[in-house]
A and B are shown apart, each in its own frame.
Chain A
Amino acid sequence: MTARRRAALRLPADALLVGAVLLVVVAALLSALGLRPEGADDRARRLESELRCPVCQGLSIADSPATLAGEMRSVVAEQVAAGAGDADIRAYFVERYGQWILLVPDAVGANLLLWAAPGLLLLGGAAVVVTRTRRRGVRAPVEAVEKVASERPRPLALAAVFGIVIAAVAIPLAVAVGPRALGGQITGGQATTQAAAPIDDLQARVTTNPTDVGALVALGDAYAVAGRAGDAADAYGRALKVEPDDIGALVGLSSLLLGAGRPDGALTLLDRAVAIAPDLPDAYLYRAIARYQLAGSLTADARADALRFLELAPNDPRRTLADQLLAGATPSSSP
């Protein structure tokens, strides 16, 4: 009598349990999806977290403090700002480092096995459990087994729980992969990358060796990327004190001056940079912008600089900037 009553009560209890698990799954899904649209920063950050750092090979370039990872992050930020699609940006790195560079490998060829393995294993496990519990129900159990078996959940409830577990794994997986397959291309504002780890690392290098120009310039770059213009200018300034002709510091500082609305100061530095390294594309791009800002229109000098940049770096993602500059005044003769 009491046993039957308990059995009758088990059903709503199971339903409650299943309901609770479903609720958690739905809540997790909603938070994973996020309710706000993905901005340029989020997009750059997501792409960075999916690219493997060639130096710190267990880390993504978003998490790695290596200089190379910093350079790769700036490539991602530039390409995102230039409006390149996710697939283009991934292809850029695959072309250079192979599929190895992808922390989230493409689901093609042999990789399909990798993608399918967790689901197949779960299904296999579920099948084993279901057949075993069902068999136990059919066979006349030994006394010892009977005691344990009577305490075990029924096969149907087990199957339901497994179904939910599989859904809990498969659905977020689909959510994680889905947006990339759809290739949502959202661009906007200046892309900034999180650079806290490299900044700390570089600060340590600069503290131990205050005349390490390479570290000072990299620190300036990291500050600039993090939007800390004042600190960046300070780092570049210190680099220039040690090595007055350091191209990286000259160009970095001049880009800061341009951002701060001081094209005159930037122009002086860039003239020096061009004199030292007559074939550095960046210096010409920035000088074109400085000259454009100073004159308020596209002067012959600015135009020549923009063209020189395009000539030196025809595949640079920032070529759209130069194109825009040239198109603003001379749409017909832009290259």
Chain B
Amino acid sequence: MSAAVIRPSRTRLVASAIAGILLIGAIALIAVGFTRDPSRIESPLVGRVAPEFRLVSLAGATVDLATLRGRPVLLNFWASWCIPCRDEAPLLRAAQERYAARDVAFLGIVYQDSPASAQAFVDRYGIAYPSLLDPDGRTALDYGVYGIPETYFIAADGTIRAKQIGPLDAASLERQIQEALR
């Protein structure tokens, strides 16, 4: 009788130990999960060579990324309907002037927008660098764009050094351009 009482208590001890460990593990997993933004998609492209593209700008000029090899490139995906892009536009414009001496090439890619609205946006914010049309969205797909504004910082050797998801501010713009210049 006494053996029958002791045996279950030992197995119960082991079982509750296992259950406890599993529970702590699950809580730890959930705790880590809460510190992350689940809607954020980390790009597998950072550190890799930037996908090639050859697109026509609003002004009608053809821009081929390959011909910019040797210069750092800032590639900004935007649209006239994108509200944060409006705050970003003056920042990018100022940065372009500031980094002209460092030979940084600025490029915009118009995302899911009509050329007419995009042109109006360019005129309104005095954007001097080329804004490229991506009519079937394939270039955006190649870059894994999922919610504009998104900005890629490409080094002179053609590798993507950083990706900004969401609007840039003065500090994040400065830091990531410096990374591309390194």
Contacts and interface: CB of A to CB of B under 8 A. Distances in A.
Interface of A: 54-55, 57, 67-68, 71-72, 74-75, 94-98, 100-101, 128, 131, 135, 138-140, 212-214, 243, 245-248, 251, 276-280, 282, 312
Contacts of B112: 67-68, 214
Given A68-B137, A96-B45, A243 B116 contact: yes
Contact of A279 (B4, B44, B56, B115): B56
Interface stretch (B35-43, B87-95, B97-105, B167-175): B35-43
B84 to A, nearest CB: 16
A279 B141 CA distance: 18
B136 interface: yes
B4 A138 contact: yes
A57 B90 CA distance: 31
A243 B38 CA distance: 39
Contacts of B136: 71, 74, 248, 282
Contacts of B44: 94-98
Contacts of A101: 41
A214 B113 contact: yes
Contacts of B113: 214
Given A68-B140, A100-B41, 5 more contacts: A75-B138, A96-B143, A97-B44, A98-B43, A243-B114
Interface of A is mostly: helix
B137 A71 contact: yes
A90 to B, nearest CB: 14
Nearest to A283: B135
Interface in B1-46: 1, 4, 8, 11, 15, 38-39, 41-45
Contacts of A68: 112, 137, 140-141, 145-146
Interface of B: 1, 4, 8, 11, 15, 38-39, 41-45, 54-56, 60, 62, 112-117, 133, 135-138, 140-147
B4 A97 contact: no
Contacts of B45: 96
A278 B60 CA distance: 9
Nearest to B79: A214
B90 to A, nearest CB: 25
A135 B115 contact: no
7 tightest Cβ-Cβ pairs between the two chains A and B: A54-B146, A96-B144, A71-B137, A213-B114, A98-B44, A214-B114, A279-B62
A247 B133 contact: yes
A248 B133 CA distance: 11
Contact of B4 (A57, A67, A139, A278): A139
A56 to B, nearest CB: 10
A71 B1 CA distance: 72
Contacts of A312: 54
B41 A98 contact: yes
A54 B147 contact: yes
A201 B147 CA distance: 19
